[in-house]
Structures are given as structure tokens and as C-alpha cells.
Structure 1
Amino acid sequence: MDPDKIEGLNEVQNTVYRTALKLYSLQKLCQLHLIDVSLIETVLLRHRPQLQPDGTFSIPDLSLSLQVLFNRASQDNLRQVEPRASQLTLSLLIAINDRNGTGFIPLRAAAATLIALSADSLSAKYKALFQLAVHGSAGNHATGNQITRSNLRLLLSDLKQVPMVVSEDDAFCDVESAVRSCFQGVLNPGIPEDKFIAWCCSEPSILLWIPALYRVAATERVTHQVKCAICKSFPITGLRYHCLKCLNFNLCQVCFLTGQSIKRHQGTHPVVEHCIQTSMKEEIQLLARTLRNNLLGRRCRRKEAQRR
């Protein structure tokens, strides 16, 4: 792993995106952007390798499973996978899930990490994490096809370890608060898949890095036919940020996330994030919102002056 490259991302001011960009660097380094959820489920969860009675892998057994995983990925994608991908991924899993050097990693924790860092859609990740929490833990008691508080607690504890590997875990809420949030108003011992996914889609604090990572990865090659108002790059590649206060003011993700600004644009201005190219109709709607914000702002200032 290249710690120097990851440390360079510390200039990003937004904690969630700083975490996502660091994890994206690890995702690309370990070739996890070539892995999808169905492959992880097939290799690790359905055809279970040699597991200890407590549901853990030994490091050599996990290494063999990762080799199978990346060989399958190479065949399915018809793309050359970096020969060191399995070894780099093994090192990453050890750093996340075996900090004490026991030589064993829980299947549940390894699978949760791989699912979260895979290149699949958010809905596929959330569904897989639900099934993992319900069925993927040795010794846990499932309530039908529902996730219990104890299972959710274990799943979130595993996922919370992932930002720790890039020293970015302090900004995300604690596990108990997240469990209470998910089960708010629920009297039953468990919740079904649709409620769990709806909770995940609401982007709870503890999981904010997962959708941010997805947006960063999904927009890597997206281009926007506008110019960055600060660095003047054209077209903007990746995430685009459009100010709803300044007329025709767009920022690339580097300038926005590192807090770059100029005199006419202030950090308090409302900004909308674009992950995909916008249509002409959407651009007109953005212009209308910008004009409305400016007109309303002037009207409020005028009324305040009259009141004084």
C-alpha cells in the first residue's frame, strides 16, 4: 500500500469524502473495483472454505479463498487482474480485522469489508450486508429473515473498522446510536430487509462513507461540459459542484473538497452535487433556482432594511 498517496488526501476538508477518497485509493490498489457482490457471496459465503468452529478463517485459508475470488473475477471480466491483488487484499483484511495478530479473521468481518469495498451498486451492497448479518454469523440467532439488534450490532462493528484503517473513524457515530436509529419505533425483535435497506438509504452517520465511496468510484470518468471557476479545468471530470447563489459558478471536486474559493463565492452558499451529466432542462432548472435564491435574498435584505 502507498501511505504517501493516502496522506496526500488529508487536504480534503470534508471528513466523509476524505474517508471515501482514501478508501477508493485502497479499492483501486487491491483491485476490488473488479469484484462484485455475487462473486463474494459465491466464493466466501455459499461455498464456504475451511472455517474454524467459531466461524473464523486462518490466514492461509483466507489467502486461498482470495486467490479463487480474483481468478474468478479475471475470468468473468475478461480483464487482467494485478497478480498481487489477492495478497494486497489479504494485507488489507489483516490490517482491518486482525489488529492483534491472532492469525484468524471472522468470515463475517472479511465478507462485510469486501462487500463494502466492492464495485457493486448500493442496493446490491445493502442487500448482501443484510443477508450476511442474518445468516453469515456462527452462533447468531436469526429471527426468520429479519435482522436482530445483536446481529446489526455485530455487522456495524465490523463495518466501523473499515474507516479506521485510514485513520478516519472518529467522525462517524457509535454503533449503539446507529442501532437505536435503525430500530426506532420498532417493537419486534427484528426488522425485515426492506426496512433495513430504507435505513441504509437514509445514509445514517455510521455508514456515510459507503455511498460517498460509491459516488467517487462511479463518477471517476464522468465529464461535465462546464469549466471550473477556480482551476479553470474543462471539462470537469468526476463530481461537479454547482453554486445555487452565484450565476454560472461550477467547481470540480478537487477545488470544492479542498475548500478553494474566490471572492464572489462564499463557503456558506448552497451547493448542489452532480454525479452525472445534466440535461439542458436540468440546467435551466438550476438557473431558475439560482435566480430565485438571489431575488429572495435581495427581497429579504430590503425588508430588513425597511424594518430597521
Structure 2
Amino acid sequence: RPWDHPKMTELYQSLSDLNNVRFSAYRTAMKLRRLQKALCLDLVSLDALTNVFEQSGLKQNDRLMDVSEAVGCLTTIYQGLERKHSDLVNLPLCVDMCLNWLLNVYDTGRGGKIRELSFKTGLVSLSNAHLEDKYRFLFKQVASVSGLCDQRRLGLMLHDAVQIPRQLGEVASFGGSNIEPSVRSCFQFANGRPEIEATMFLEWMRMEPQSMVWLPVLHRVAASETAKHQAKCNICKECPIVGFRYRSLKHFNYDVCQSCFFSGRTAKGHKLSYPMVEYCTPTTSGEDIRDFAKVLKNKFKSKKYFEKHPRIGYLPVQTVLEGDDLETPVTVIRLVPVALAPSPSPQLSNEDTHARIEHLASRLAEMEFKNGSFLNDSSPNESLEDEHLLIQHYCQSLSGESPGSQPQSPAQILISLDSQERSELERILRDLEDENRSLQSEYDRLRQKQGLGGLGALLLAPPTMPPESPRDSELIAEAKLLRQHKGRLEARMRILEDHNRQLESQLIRLRQLLDQPQQEGRVNGTPALPSPPPPPPPPPQEESHPLSNGGPGGLRPPEPTGDDVGTAVPTNEDTAGGLTSVLPAQQDTPGGE
């Protein structure tokens, strides 16, 4: 900014710290509040401004003021302010910075001239006065002698007012620089009268129209700076809350400080779509009772109700894409006076270009509002595609056009954009229809294949045949994975079956070994005795006792028959011989003692 004062450059750089405020109205108001304090305009009363305007003879709104006139008027204002606040006002610095700001807002081409209405509007908007007093003063400047105002004069005043957020780069959130929708909204509120009175204008401004909502928010920001609320923030636990206090109308005892609210933070169980009430001053008992009743009423409403019925903190105006245009042959609103047309400024020749860029920016802001990109979880790619589409429209409108063929009004811009959008939408519609037909045919083909052979029909297809669609390749890959998994399960089952058979054979062997000591201990019905020391082995020529014949290891004796029971009593020699032949065999077995 080669034209900016060094202190003004520092001030603009400090305003970037407020870009983390998510809501544009508060972000703009907080920037203007910092600017207002830096220019000491928060100390200037409306009466002082009115007296200076009358002394300087500023009575013709369309007349152009040069820099010397503006400096003289500002010097008079700050001289009176310096006498009251000598410790706060630096006269030369305040005059230079205030003039610098007014030129940035209303003389972007640096032609060195400002309209009287613009000069008054800028100073009054940031002065220290009641909000409705500002509204009355601004309306009086454009009203006729009879106190009535038509559409053209109201449009001039709103156009000068909206240049203030435009200079901060925030105009898109307030409907853009095109004030025709705001004028239409005001006169529709007045039942379509050709001229409105001050009372009608004040009633419309009390509803905080979108193009002017930044001004009442600025007053609330100023009022909340010293406010202390006896409440604790449910997010950062700040107590007491200083500044704005936001109370939930969905949950009891849920309060949020301005820092958490501006950053978009929420506590568990609370949605951004839930209704909240803002307080810039401490609450009264009546307000507490009223909010309690509202919370109790909202307790019976579901989450979907608040998502479908969001509360808007301002009066939305009809955008340039809707309704009838104001630029009719009967009434033409001229936002720039005829005297400014032959200005040699290099930027005034590009005024249409800047107006079209602002128009596209307002279009983008409207799309974000309709899509609910802040409240809903919409994809960021969709908003980027919308923005790229708007930029593409703008580049196409600039390419190959002579200055005489460029649209000269918002209505002509709208017509050109509508024709381009219509062709683009028709092309997208044709592409979607083609894609729908291809998907339908692919779906029918897959249904036929599934009816013939199921999933196996896809797996038995020749490996050299490429997949006809991404869906086919996904089905084939899924089938291959299922077959591999099935093979792994079958191999594991075979291993488990082999292991089970081995365990069964070991169990049978162990049962046999456990039964052997019990059976050999019950020879002839006598309990088993401790085994004596093993005697020397018998001579090789002697035959083993019949007890050695039979089961494994020669341990199982022959089963007695019914005739032998109770009659055959072995002698001592036979018993000793049997034990002699059994013990060596028992020591050879794994279960021998």
C-alpha cells in the first residue's frame, strides 16, 4: 500500500489477528472496533460531527470534496476532541490516519476527491452515538424536504455504507456491493410504496438487514467490552465471563464465552445448530426466567428440528439471482454520480471488473450458506468446485471481449452468467444421463451373470478377459480372496484333524498303561504287594510260567474258566516261579515300578 501511513500499515497488519473469528459479522465488527479506537472516532459525538458539517457547508451530497477540504474538516473535528481528551488524541496523527482510511474506502483510485455523502457516512458510522440516531442522520441526508426517500437516494446511502466492510474484504458475507436486493427488501417491507418515511426505514433497520448487520454488531461489541457475567464457560471454564455471553436455549446452565463461541468450539452433547441467545450486558432476573422457559420448551424438540429450522441473526435480503431487477427503464439506480464518470483514475476504468468479482464472491457466499458448509459436514471439494466454476465463468467472460461488449450493470452480468450456467448445467446433465445408462446396463449384465452361475460365473471367466467395469474387477478380487481364505481354513482343519487323531492314540495308550498295574496286582484275587528285589534271571533252558503268556509284555494272565474257579489253588512253588518270570518282564515295560 504505497499510499498508506506507516501507522495505518501497522494497523492493517494487526487486523489479521482477528481472521480466526469464524463468523463474518463479528469478525468485521471487531476489526471496525479496533479501527475506530485507532482513529479516536469512538470519542467523537454525533452532535460534534453535525456542527462541523454545518460549519463547513457540507449540504450537497453529490458534490465532490478535495483533500484540502477533507483535511480542514477533520482538523476541526479533532481540535475539539483534543481539548477534551488531550492525553488520548494526537492531532496530526489522527487527521492523517482518518484521511488515509477515508481515501482507502471511498477513493480507491486515488483521484483525490470524495463525495460529501461518503465523507459523512464513514465518519458517522464509526462515531460515538446511539444506533438509531445514526440511522436517523443517514436517512435525513438522503431524504427530501418532505422527509421521504425514494429508491435511488436510499441506494446511494446503502452503497456508501457497504463500502466500509468492503474495504476490509468482508463485503461478500453481507450480500456483496450490489445493494439492489437491500433496497428492494426495504420497499417491500413498506408495502411497495414509491417513497418511504423515516419510521419505516427505522423499523426495517431494527430487523438488521444482511447488508447492514455489521453496524449493530459493532455497537454490541463496544457494549460488551466491559461487561462481566456471573457465569462459567462450559468449554474453557472461564469465570466470570467477560465480553459476550452466549447462553444455550437447548440445555440448562450451558454458557459459552466469546472466545470459544468465535472459534466455533462446543462442549460434548451440544451442536452448533442449537439455538443460543447473546448477551452483551449482565442478565436480569426477567431475562433468566424467559430463557428458562425457552429451554424447557426446546427440550421437547429433536435435533432434526433445529437442523431443519436454523435461526438467522439477521434479516436475509433477496439475492441478485432472484426476483425482478430494479434496473427498469422507469427507475434506474445510479450508484456512481455522473461527475465521477470522467475521472482519470486508473481504477475507475476497471470498476466493472471489480463489481463482477464482488458479484461472484457474493454468489460463493450464498452457495456456502445454502449448502450449510459450516453447520453440516459437507465435503470441502464441493465448495472448491463451486468456486472454481465461478472463476471459470469469470475468465470466460473476460476472454475475447472488448470493453464495449462487457456487461455494464448487474442485470447484464446476471444474463451472461445465467446463459453460461445453463449451458454448463445442460452438459453436466447429459454426462449424468450417459453415466446412468451405462451403470444400468452394467447392473443388468451382473444380474444375468448372477442368475446363471452366481459368483462362480465370474471366477470361471477366462483370465485373459479384462474386467468390463470396476464393479466386475471388485467382485473377482473379492471372490479370489474368499477362495484363498477357504483354502487356508481347509488346510488348518486337516492339521487339526491329524492332531486330534494323534491325541486319541496317545490317550488309548495311556489308558492301557494305567490298567496294567491293577490287573497284575489282582492275580488270584490277592492285592498287589511291594515287589521284592529282582532275583537273578532264570537259566535259559527253563520255560517261562504260563502267566507270562498273553497281553503286552507278558503281563496279562489267562482268564480263568468257570470250572477252575474255586478249585485250582496254585502252590507256593508255582507262585514263586510266576513272580520270578513276571518281574523281569515288568521292569522292561514303561509302566513298571
**TM-score above 0.5, yes or no:** yes
Find the partner of 1:247 among 225, 243, 252. Answer: 252
Query: How far 1:296 moved relative to its partner?
Result: 4.8
Query: How far 1:67 moved relative to its partner?
Result: 1.4
Take 1:120 and 1:18, find their aligned partners in 2: how far apart are those partners? 21
CA contact (8 A) 1:51 1:58 kept: no
Query: How far 1:248 moved relative to its partner?
Result: 1.0
Take 2:268 and 2:61, find their aligned partners in 1: how far apart are those partners? 63
Query: How far 1:68 moved relative to its partner?
Result: 0.9
Whether 2:81 is the aligned partner of 1:73: answer yes
Considering Cα pairs closer than 8 Å and 6+ residues apart, tell me whether 1 or 2 has the greater RCO.
Answer: 1
Whether 2:50 is the aligned partner of 1:48: answer no
Q: Secondary structure at the match of 2:219?
A: helix
Query: How far 1:37 moved relative to its partner?
Result: 1.6
Take 2:223 and 2:235, find their aligned partners in 1: how far apart are those partners? 24
Take 1:13 and 1:122, find their aligned partners in 2: how far apart are those partners? 25
Query: How far 1:165 moved relative to its partner?
Result: 1.3
Q: Which residue of 2 aligns with 1:106?
A: 115
Q: Indicate the structure (1 or 2) with the bigger Cα radius of gyration.
A: 2
Take 1:254 and 1:152, find their aligned partners in 2: how far apart are those partners? 37
1:38-92 residue CA offsets vs partner (Å, 9 max, x unmatched):
2111112x11258999612111221121111122233456763243222211111
TM-score normalised over the length of structure 1:
0.87
Larger strand proportion, structure 1 or 2?
Answer: 1
Q: Which residue of 2 aligns with 1:277?
A: 282
Letter in 1 for 2:78: F
Find the partner of 1:117 among 123, 126, 146. Answer: 126
Seen in structure 2, the aligned counterparts of structure 1 residues 43 and 267 have a Cα distance that, compared at 3 Å, is: same
Q: Which residue of 2 aligns with 1:217?
A: 222
TM-score normalised over the length of structure 2:
0.47
Q: Which residue of 1 aligns with 2:393?
A: none
Find the partner of 1:150 among 127, 131, 152. Answer: 152
Seen in structure 2, the aligned counterparts of structure 1 residues 114 and 53 have a Cα distance that, compared at 3 Å, is: closer
Take 1:50 and 1:288, find their aligned partners in 2: how far apart are those partners? 52
Take 1:53 and 1:222, find their aligned partners in 2: how far apart are those partners? 39
Supply the RMSD in Å over aligned alpha carbons. 2.3
Q: Secondary structure at the match of 2:247?
A: strand
The answer for unaligned runs of 5 or more in structure 1 is 135-141, 301-308
1:94-243 alignment runs, 5 A limit = 94-134=103-143, 142=144, 144-173=146-175, 174-184=178-188, 185-186=190-191, 188-243=193-248
Take 1:191 and 1:109, find their aligned partners in 2: how far apart are those partners? 22
Q: Which residue of 1 aligns with 2:102?
A: 93
Q: Which residue of 2 aligns with 1:37?
A: 46
User: Which has the higher mean CA deviation after the structures are superposed, 159-168 or 182-191?
Assistant: 182-191
1:180-209 residue CA offsets vs partner (Å, 9 max, x unmatched):
111115555421111111111111111111
Seen in structure 2, the aligned counterparts of structure 1 residues 281 and 127 have a Cα distance that, compared at 3 Å, is: closer
Aligned-pair identity (%)? 32
CA contact (8 A) 1:156 1:175 kept: yes
CA contact (8 A) 1:146 1:193 kept: yes
- Detail structure 1 runs of 4+ shifted over 3 Å in the superposition: 49-54, 74-80, 185-189, 295-298
Take 1:77 and 1:190, find their aligned partners in 2: how far apart are those partners? 43
CA contact (8 A) 2:56 2:73 kept: no
1:93-122 residue CA offsets vs partner (Å, 9 max, x unmatched):
010011001111111101001111112111
